[in-house]
Amino acid sequence: QSHVVSGYVGNKAAVFPLQLLGFDVDVINSVQFSNHTGYDEKWSGDVLSGEMLESLVGGMERNGLLTQVTHLMTGYIGSESFLRSVVRVHDSMKAENRALVYLCDPV
């Protein structure tokens, strides 16, 4: 999911309700933008690369932090490399936990 500094979309809109429902949410922001991309004057920020996604997930895996993951949710995908890495991460997690539920927020 995405993250914006100003506004409430992506992870800023999704995480709190999920926590209220009892989910322990681990957040990886696919992008960090100043604001929603729909603003007329545009936005600025960074897109997380696929390599960085796999690095973050790898660190979690090495520390045993993925063993209790029951759901994987994606939203805004900012680059092709990130999308390809999401597929690899999903496949790896699904191989370890056949009951893993994948949710796609169709942004």
Cα(88)–Cα(51) distance, rounded to whole angstroms?
A: 11
**Residue 83 DSSP SS3:** helix
Full pLDDT tens readout for the chain, 107 residues = 999 999 999 999 999 999 999 999 999 999 999 999 999 889 999 999 999 999 999 999 999 999 999 999 999 999 999 999 999 999 999 999 999 999 999 87
Handedness of CA 84, 86, 91, 92 (dihedral sign): positive
The reported pLDDT for the residue numbered 28 is: 97
Instruction: Find tokens 């496949």 and name the residue.
Output: 91
Cα(68)–Cα(42) distance, rounded to whole angstroms?
A: 39
